[in-house]
Amino acid sequence: MSDTREVEALRAELTARDYRITKQRMKIVAELASVRRYVTARELHARLARARAGVGLATVYRTLETLQAVGAASARPVARGEMGYLFCPVAHHHHAVCTKCGKVEDVPCRSAQKFERALEADLRFRLTRHSLDFFGVCARCS
Amino acid sequence: MSDTREVEALRAELTARDYRITKQRMKIVAELASVRRYVTARELHARLARARAGVGLATVYRTLETLQAVGAASARPVARGEMGYLFCPVAHHHHAVCTKCGKVEDVPCRSAQKFERALEADLRFRLTRHSLDFFGVCARCS
DNA sequence: GTCTCTGCAAAGGGTTTGCAACGCA
DNA sequence: TGCGTTGCAAACCCTTTGCAGAGAC
């Protein structure tokens, strides 16, 4: 799979931004990259604990924050006051989330941009950012 | 403004769904309807307190939950673990949020639906729901 | 009169933070 | 060696809940 390449790219990005490459960070990144759905910090922490990774929950939170800062993870509220995190190192795109298995497909942004341009003219809004998520049932779950 | 009409419609909807029309609920609805941006429960509670409305914070939370249940409010995480609520009684649409003043413009859904149909064919996803928000600077703030 | 709703305060629980030890660069 | 990072646990703080009284219908 392409996880390895993506993780390598992320490692370079972290270094470029003066973040240090620590064992804990890389374990968290590897685990997050291997799960192609939104996971909570607690869930990620539990997975790492199961793998005897010895990473603290606070470190998981801190790393997830770092990953968001470098644009390698996206966050979304998933339950009562709990956030879900997804590894998504690609520049800018959207997600189609399976409501049964949680699987996430990447969706390119082109069409949304077309929508956005029409909107700018209509509303006289200078748009800088948008957030778009689709929910449904993936091919396998159907 | 059209607040009054929307609030009246909501009152009917609440009655139809066997929710009771209480002074507190109506005060909360009126306040939320008069603020055309995402506000937190605490902020709403503070505004009501300032107006000597005498509504408890727990009631604000419970009412906001009720409003979401009847589809009259939408929620969005706005800060560290805090949710923002917006009065939006219209069936289904999207929002353009001004990042300066917080003002929210409604965006019709038609184009997004077109995008959605193309996506269903591409990904073989059976889509049931989507969430789309735009952020930028409104005409007045420019 | 019944049953929902409210207010208060306490509990709950996800997330953040302080600080000393650790370890990457 | 210096400074960013980690782990632990406590602190934080938004949100929910229990319960008795109030109020809508």
Segment B72-130, tens digit of pLDDT: 998 888 877 899 999 987 666 777 777 777 677 777 777 677 777 877 887 777 777 77
Contacts of B116 in chain A (CB under 8 A): 134
Residues facing residue A97 across a β-bridge: A104, A135
B1 pLDDT tier (thresholds 50, 70, 90) = low
- Give the residue from B47, B65, B87 where a domain finishes: B87
Q: Is residue A142 situated within a structural domain?
A: no
Q: How many domains does chain A have?
A: 2
The answer to whether A131 faces chain B, any CB pair under 8 Å, is yes
Supply A74's token pair: 């996206």
Residue B142 in any domain: the answer is no
Chain A touched by B130 (CB under 8 Å): yes
Mark whether B16 and B75 lie in a shared domain: yes
Residues B103 and B58 in one domain: no
Q: What is the pLDDT of residues A104-126, one digit of tens each?
A: 777 777 767 777 787 788 777 77
Band (pLDDT 50/70/90 cuts) for residue B65 is very high
> Contacts of residue B112 in chain A, CB cutoff 8 Å?
115, 132
Both B48 and B67 in one domain: the answer is yes
Q: Which of A93, A125, A131, A132 to mutate to test the interface with B (most CBs of B within 10 A)?
A: A125
Residue A141 lies in a domain: no
The C-alpha of B46 sits at a distance from chain A's nearest C-alpha, in angstroms, of 21
What percent of chain A shows pLDDT beyond 90? 40
Distance B85 CA to C4 C1' (A): 24
A131 and A61 assigned to the same domain = no
Q: Which of B61, B117, B134 to mutate to test the interface with A (most CBs of A within 10 A)?
A: B134
Evaluate whether A32 touches A85 at the Cβ level (below 8 Å): yes
Q: Is the pLDDT of residue B43 over 80?
A: yes
Which chain B positions have a beta carbon within 8 Å of A96's beta carbon? 119, 123, 125, 127
Inter-residue long-range contacts of B17-22, CB under 8 Å, 24+ positions, other chains counted? B17/B70, B19/B66, B19/B70
Query: Cβ–Cβ of A131/B128 closer than 8 Å?
Result: no
This prediction has a pTM of 0.81
Domain co-membership, A51 together with A119: no
pLDDT of A83 > 90? The answer is: yes
Q: What number is the average pLDDT over the span A86-94?
A: 76
d(CA A84, CA B45) in angstroms, rounded, equals: 28
Asked if B125 has any chain A CB less than 8 Å from its own CB, the reply is yes
Residue B13 and residue B82 in one domain: yes
Q: What confidence score (pLDDT) does residue A73 get?
A: 92
CA A119 to chain centre: 27
CATH number of the domain within which A116 lies: 3.30.1490.190
B54-67 core/surface letters (b: 16 or more CB in 10 A; e: else): ebeeebbbebbebb
**Which structure tokens are listed for B21?**
């029309």
**B139 pLDDT exceeds 90?**
no
Q: What is the DSSP string of B87-102?
A: E--SSS-EEEEETTT-
Confidence of residue A92 (pLDDT cuts 50, 70, 90): low
Q: Are residues B69 and B116 in the same domain?
A: no
Which residues, numbered 94 to 113 in chain B, qualify as contacts with chain A under a Cβ-Cβ cut-off of 8 Å?
A: 96, 98-99, 105, 107, 111-112
Q: Which residues 6+ apart lie within 8 Å of B133 measured at CB?
A: A130, A131, A132, B76, B94, B95, B96, B97
Q: What is the residue-averaged pLDDT of chain A?
A: 85
Who touches strand C, with Cβ under 7 Å?
Answer: A 15, 20-23, 40-42, 57-58, 61-62, 65, 80-83; B 19-20, 22, 24-25, 54-59, 62-63, 66, 80-81
Task: Please tell me whether residues B25 and B80 are part of one structural domain.
Answer: yes
Of A48, A73, A78, A75, nearest in space to A60 by CA: A48
pLDDT given at position B24: 97
Indicate the residue of B123, B130, B139 with minimum beta-carbon distance to A133.
B130
Which residue is closest to D7 in terms of CA–C1' distance? A56
Please give the average per-residue pLDDT across B24-31, as a whole number. 96
A49, A24: one domain: yes
- CA–CA separation, A26 vs A10, rounded Å? 10
What residue numbers bound the domain in which B122 lies? 93-136
Query: Do residues A91 and A105 touch, judged by C-beta distance below 8 A?
Result: no
Residue A35 pLDDT exceeds 80 = yes
